[in-house]
């Protein structure tokens, strides 16, 4: 039964000591031997898929979704996994800006370059082909070699060689801006073959995502943030301390069955509850399933989040008695469909109990907190713990409020590859959590890992994913603008801690990737620390 109205919010944990894990990536379209591998008639893709195979997914238990820094191409040859060699002629590259921080490169390869690639392919085939009647490695007449290998195969290999050699040169114009793993040749391979066959030259298009610009509105608005942080009253250290002491005291009490009186504050009861909507037209009256419960254990001192008036309406009820009464769900109720609804509740009291509590003194100190000898010692420890919880809640609430504010102040044209990467990381983490809780079988995991399931998640969570990316980009931009730094010692220490945790969990890891992730977290933490110091922050209790 959902009689409680409350909210719980996940906060971003930028503590550099958080447990680091990576989501391994698979499904590369890679360079093999001396030629690119293409599917005939399909668009060519050099993009790295950011989703994982099922067995790899299960090897990881957590992830990091922070993207404070963009991983851009330091050099196109390094990014594409091939050396950038000298061409016999110049290629022509026409750059066109497209939406979502995307650039289209139209690459025109002249005949002189295509001819050079053709000659290299012939030499390569001559080294590898075992033509009957000729010793391996010996020169074979070109016409005989082509007849043996097949003209179509030579043509395919030539087109692949042209792409492999010219693509690094074509990417030079976006070096330093292009995002890793976002390069895609979008011209169909069949079209490239046809053009080469008829003209002896090639023209192809490349799409690449580039690091988006972060536009502040107003400019430098992050320097004058005015933040209001709402903290739940339950987090107040004094209130939480009193409630926790009371809870621990009650936990060591003895329950006694009540037979000679009705329900009072401080008692416990077991209730059967049902509710229907109130309407003058009885045919429109409906049950409220979320308000129904059988055997609901109710502590009358824990009624803060009940529907207003519920507790007052059952005070005095006796064992075996049934009461019916109308209530109105408040406009702040967490279930939107019940806000403002007039409901008729029916409650049957199944059992009644009261507590016999021991005297709250030094004699029960060890039962309240093992190891304590005095009540004063118990109170001091509880209060200290509650103060720490309150401080943590304030810090996390402040970070969330700051990030929300930053998100509203920046305009970012989010690249599709970045959106998919972030979204798939979120989905991967969600899947890992489900797997840990439910132990999915292979069929269930395959269903949840399907492209359809992932795409549905990306569409459903689009706004949230975009907002997270905007927040992270804003943080990264501030880090650069304010020339913030963290110590090398901190980086080394946190990397060592993370790797030690991987080893303890017997998990595989990539040290460079761990280092990069730790660096991103340290950068984010440094920015939030700077923003807290330079913002006007007001705390309110809700």
Report the distance separating Cα 496 and Cα 492, nearest Å: 6
Q: Is the pLDDT of residue 32 over 50?
A: no
> What is the rounded average pLDDT of the residues 172-186?
87
Q: Which pLDDT does position 236 carry in this prediction? A: 87
- Name the one residue in this structure whose structure tokens are 């293409």: 38
How do beta strands 536-541 and 226-231 pair? parallel
Contact residues for 247 (Cβ-Cβ < 8 A; gap 6+): none
> What is the rounded average pLDDT of the residues 346-370?
94
Report the distance separating Cα 390 and Cα 388, nearest Å: 5
Angle between helices 375-409 and 511-533 (to 10 degrees): 90
Report the distance separating Cα 418 and Cα 51, nearest Å: 13
Q: What is the pLDDT of residues 71-104, one digit of tens each?
A: 554 433 334 444 567 899 999 999 999 999 999 9
Mean pLDDT of the chain: 81
> Against a cut of 0.95, is the pTM above it?
no
Q: Is the pLDDT of residue 29 over 50?
A: no
Q: Is the pLDDT of residue 247 over 60?
A: yes
CA-to-CA separations, 295 to 93, 255, 271, 310, 351, in angstroms, rounded: 73, 17, 5, 17, 9
DSSP H or E run through 297: strand 293-299
pLDDT band of 283, cuts 50, 70, 90: confident
Q: Is the pLDDT of residue 478 over 90?
A: yes
Report the distance separating Cα 208 and Cα 47, nearest Å: 9
Contact residues for 353 (Cβ-Cβ < 8 A; gap 6+): 255, 256, 257, 258, 267, 268, 269
Task: Report yes or no: 507 and 196 within 8 Å, Cβ to Cβ.
Answer: no
Instruction: Pick the closest to residue 162 from 183, 130, 146, 185 (CA basis).
Output: 185
> What is the rounded average pLDDT of the residues 47-66?
28
Q: What is the pLDDT of residues 420-472, one digit of tens each?
A: 989 998 998 888 888 888 778 888 888 888 899 999 999 999 999 999 999 99
Q: Is the pLDDT of residue 50 over 70?
A: no
Going along the chain from its start, the domains and CATH numbers come out as 31-59+71-210 (3.30.70.1050), 221-232+374-541 (1.10.3120), 254-356 (3.10.50.40)
Report the distance separating Cα 401 and Cα 252, nearest Å: 40
Q: Which pLDDT does position 268 carry in this prediction? A: 93
């Amino acid at each position: 039964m959902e009689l409680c109205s409350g909210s719980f919010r996940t906060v971003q944990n930028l503590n550099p000591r958080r447990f680091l894990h990576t989501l391994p990536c698979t499904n590369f379209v890679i360079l093999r031997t001396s030629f690119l591998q293409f599917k005939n008639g399909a668009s060519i893709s050099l993009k790295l898929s950011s989703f994982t195979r099922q067995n790899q997914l299960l090897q990881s238990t957590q992830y990091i979704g922070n993207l404070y820094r963009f991983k851009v191409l330091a050099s196109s040859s390094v990014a594409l996994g091939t050396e950038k060699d000298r061409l016999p002629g110049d290629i022509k590259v026409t750059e066109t800006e497209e939406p979502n921080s995307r650039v289209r490169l139209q690459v025109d390869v002249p005949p002189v370059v295509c001819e050079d690639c053709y000659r290299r392919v012939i030499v390569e085939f001559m080294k590898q082909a075992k033509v009957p009647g000729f010793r391996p490695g010996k020169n074979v007449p070109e016409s005989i070699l082509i007849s043996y290998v097949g003209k179509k195969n030579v043509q395919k290999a030539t087109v692949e060689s042209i792409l492999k050699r010219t693509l690094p040169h074509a990417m030079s114009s976006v070096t330093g801006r292009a995002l890793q793993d976002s390069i895609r040749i979008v011209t169909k391979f069949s079209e490239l073959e046809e053009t080469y066959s008829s003209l002896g030259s090639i023209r192809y298009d490349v799409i690449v995502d580039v690091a988006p610009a972060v536009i502040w509105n107003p400019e430098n608005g992050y320097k004058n943030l005015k933040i209001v942080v709402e903290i739940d009253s339950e987090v107040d250290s004094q209130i939480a301390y009193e409630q926790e002491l009371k809870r621990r005291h009650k936990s060591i009490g003895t329950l006694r069955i009540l037979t000679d009186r009705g329900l009072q504050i401080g008692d416990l009861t077991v209730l059967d509850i049902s509710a229907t909507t109130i309407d003058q037209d009885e045919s429109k009256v409906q049950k409220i399933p979320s308000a129904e419960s059988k055997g609901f254990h109710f502590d009358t001192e824990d009624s803060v989040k009940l529907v207003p008036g519920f507790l007052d309406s059952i005070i005095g009820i006796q064992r075996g008695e049934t009461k019916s009464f109308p209530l109105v769900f408040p406009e702040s109720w967490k279930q939107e469909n019940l806000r403002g609804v007039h409901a008729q509740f029916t409650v049957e009291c199944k059992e009644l109990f009261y507590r016999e509590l021991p005297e709250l003194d030094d004699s029960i100190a060890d039962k309240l907190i093992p190891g304590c000898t005095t009540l004063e010692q118990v109170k001091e420890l509880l209060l200290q713990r509650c103060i720490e919880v309150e401080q943590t809640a304030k810090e996390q609430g402040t970070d969330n409020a700051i990030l929300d504010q930053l998100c509203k102040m920046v305009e970012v044209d989010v690249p599709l590859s970045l959106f998919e990467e972030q979204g798939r990381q979120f989905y991967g983490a969600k899947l890992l959590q489900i797997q840990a809780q439910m132990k999915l079988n292979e069929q269930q995991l395959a269903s949840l890992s399907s492209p359809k399931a992932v795409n549905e998640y990306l569409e459903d969570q689009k706004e949230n994913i975009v907002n997270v990316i905007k927040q992270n980009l804003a943080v990264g931009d501030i880090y650069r603008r304010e020339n913030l730094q963290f110590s090398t010692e901190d980086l080394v220490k946190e990397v060592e801690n993370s790797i030690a945790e991987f080893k303890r969990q017997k998990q595989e890891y990539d040290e460079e990737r761990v280092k990069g992730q730790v660096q991103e977290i340290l950068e984010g933490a440094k920015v939030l620390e700077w923003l807290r110091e330079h913002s006007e922050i007001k705390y309110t209790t809700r």
